[in-house]
Structure 1
């Protein structure tokens, strides 16, 4: 029979010392990882899943699109290219027990119906969709001056109707921004070019019955203090007023934020509420504005900020009825991300989420970032996801996200996915 000598005090001490060393080492590793996570702005518990990869050609490709979601959880968006004629699509993604089902609702021809539909569609209460296409239609522009269109859902099928042909004259050209709809069914949008000064317009489309629409320009950009080149972000409608940004122009040439107020006679007056100043202030806003708490507005810029790599900013009202701006975060490049084109979304806790078009992982495929509010008006930025590119992840998010019913978010990337032709993803923040 084998006997085992009882452990001596020294061996017990050594055993405890070894175990203590291991535990201490593990504890130190956890501390280091935690500190590294905070230092590099990582939010480790967030999850992201690609729910659809575009295959190119008839399936659609280059999904530079905002997404909208209906009450049944279906997602809608556009691809700039692909489809039956290579000129872009409107698509639907439907959740099922076996994943998401992709359906092309319409393929553009680049003829009279338009082509290259950027930035997605807008959903009305009846389930119809509205959007713009930057080419096709009529007018004197090479390839056409673009259109605004409606997709009508009836009897399980979809039909497309052009509701305005842009001429490239006073009505603008190349409408590359999504449309905003009010409770009366009026649509509002922006063009980056055309208009009386060639610098873009803000327009209104009003239904007048029998499928007809009335188009009118409600502001023509001058390139002066009002700005120029209306951004690709859709207008924000709040309390009967429209809020938006112009990418360039303004008092400092770095873009503007503006408010459009209607009169009782139906005329609109534009007021510049902030002229971006450029580095270290924000500059060159591309994405739209988000309405947050306390009537504050939030947005992103592609350039400027402290590092000239873009920023997140806040606009708030002053006691005198004016507006003031402050930069909440300046992107640092590298793993932090840079050059945001994104709108922002907000969760129930007041956290802001958006995307950067570049930076992040080694492929510089972009990021999802989070800004968390703290005491005394402070904000802390963290990187929630760094896109890895094909085949398993998206790449280059040129748009923000839309909020789902369960507190998750959905977004699109112009590349990535299995075929590198674009992807739609679901992002769930850490809880």
Structure 2
């Protein structure tokens, strides 16, 4: 098994954007802000949403390689609102070596690259893995590639920008290519997944203690009866178990080599049970799971539905999957990439493409009884395009996200805020 590439999940993400298909593969985009302020103010432009409910304000236009020194480009990870009030994130491209960056954006609009990745230390901060803040002002993250063995790393960086390599994945039994963001659980440890490696080369779940100590606690087997290739961050449920999704594994009835994907449940020692495997046209869960305040667990699949645009589902307490909605690229968007439960008690789902005059992506709102509606349509002519990371909510109640393309400065992406009109 090789890491996912443009022939795997990458092509699914960019399948309807031929103008970028000749670029470097968006490896692991399923599974999956910048240098010096453009203006002194926090916002550099705003536009009314076509639905009339939200106003999109561009907080920053990324500059990429067309700035000296080079800035970030292709923002495909969610931002982290840290305890110092600043936004932190990573970029896929850009920076001094063109291999991506860690950046900080202040509320006044000033942005700065804190770290430039290179081909030897950590190459290309991949897809959804965002940063997570742990005490003492330290931000932790993972990289799909890079490190001594090219199998990925775990790193941490503090608010001033002091970077530290915490763990290098070795491949084989030690796991390779971390894909989902780290989570910090009730036992005070970080947990995460690797796309491949482990005893059977179908991926792993690992535990990392903040003070040191890395351990693979589970190796996925793959096949008809086992999960394979975890995609998306883990979820610690209210019951104390870890829940996650795998892009492959389970049903092979369509003749596929790897299966349609699964949901699994695991205790903190690594004992795992497969909760659900996809058997119908819906397949390949990618954006992880969320648990809302009322205890419900929701998730999405990357593919499925009449137009193969993805689906929305609920996992019941009995372990059954209830289908809530089929996305349609012509009606409400396609390719869901993540969810956020906001303070208004509803869930906001980011769809990276579809709908609108240019099919630049949408935000769909879901009530907790499963009803959905489009609340924002992206348009690269007036803002950003291809939002491929979930939203966060700031302390003002704004929804903050990033786009991979468009904006000014030759289309290196944007950081935006959605506020009610």
Match status 1:260 vs 2:260:
no
CA contact (8 A) 1:290 1:299 kept: yes
* Cα shift at 1:292: 1.0
In structure 2, the residue matched to 1:126 is 136
Partner of 1:277: 279
Find the counterpart in structure 1 of residue 30 from structure 2: none
Match of 1:336? 332
User: Partner of 1:45 in structure 2?
Assistant: 53
Structure 2: 5+ residue stretches without partners: 1-48, 253-258
**For 2:287, what is the secondary structure of its paired residue?**
coil
- Corresponding residue number in structure 1 for 2:77: 65
Describe the superposition over 1:353-377 as per-residue Cα deviations: whole angstroms up to 9, x where unpaired: 111111022322111111234xxx4
Answer whether contact 1:76 1:120 (CA < 8 A) is retained.
no
Q: Distance in 2 between matches of 1:244 and 1:93?
A: 31
1:192/1:229 contact within 8 Å kept: yes
* Conservation of the 8 A alpha-carbon contact between 1:42 and 1:383: no
Task: Please give the residue correspondences for 1:31-180 in structure 2 after superposition, counting only pairs within 5 Å.
Answer: 43-57=51-65, 58-96=70-108, 100-111=109-120, 113-118=121-126, 119-139=129-149, 144-153=150-159, 157-180=160-183
Q: Report the Cα offset of residue 67 of structure 1.
A: 1.6
CA distance in 1, matches of 2:72, 2:100: 6
Separation in structure 2 between the aligned mates of residue 307 and residue 292 of structure 1, nearest angstrom: 28
| Distance in 2 (alpha carbons) for counterparts of 1:221 and 1:74 | 37
Structure index of larger Rg: 1
For 1:226 and 1:88, the matched residues in 2 are separated by 35
Q: What is the distance in 1 between the residues matched to 2:141 and 2:342?
A: 26
Cα distance between partner residues in 1 of 2:341 and 2:289: 12
What's the counterpart of residue 221 of structure 2? 222
CA offset digits 1:143-186 (Å, max 9, x no partner):
x1111111134xxx322111111112112212232111135542
Q: Which residue of 1 aligns with 2:37?
A: none
Aligned-partner SS, 1:191: strand
Task: Tell me what 2:312 maps to.
Answer: 312
Deviations 1:13-65 (A, max 9, x none): xxxxxxxxxxxxxxxxxxxxxxxxxxxx9742212111111111221101110
Q: C-alpha separation between the residues in 1 aligned to 2:143 and 2:397?
A: 31
Distance 1:105 1:183 in 2: 30
| More helix per residue | 1
Q: Which position in structure 1 is the counterpart of 2:286?
A: 286
Does the CA-based 8 Å contact 2:189-2:210 persist in structure 1?
A: yes
Contact residue 255 and residue 283 of structure 1 kept, 8 A: yes
CA–CA distance in structure 2, aligned partners of residues 337 and 354 of structure 1: 10
In the alignment of these two chains, the number of paired residues is: 358
What residue is the counterpart of 2:377 in the other structure? 386
Q: Does 1:361 align with 2:356?
A: yes
Q: CA deviation at 1:229?
A: 1.0
Mapped contact 1:290–1:343 kept (Cα < 8 A): no
TM-score by length of 2: 0.80
**What's the offset of the Cα at 1:335?**
4.3
Instruction: Give, in whole Å, the separation in 2 of the partners of 1:42 and 1:269.
Output: 48
RMSD of equivalent CA atoms:
2.0
User: Counterparts of 1:176 and 1:80 in 2: how far apart (Å)?
Assistant: 13
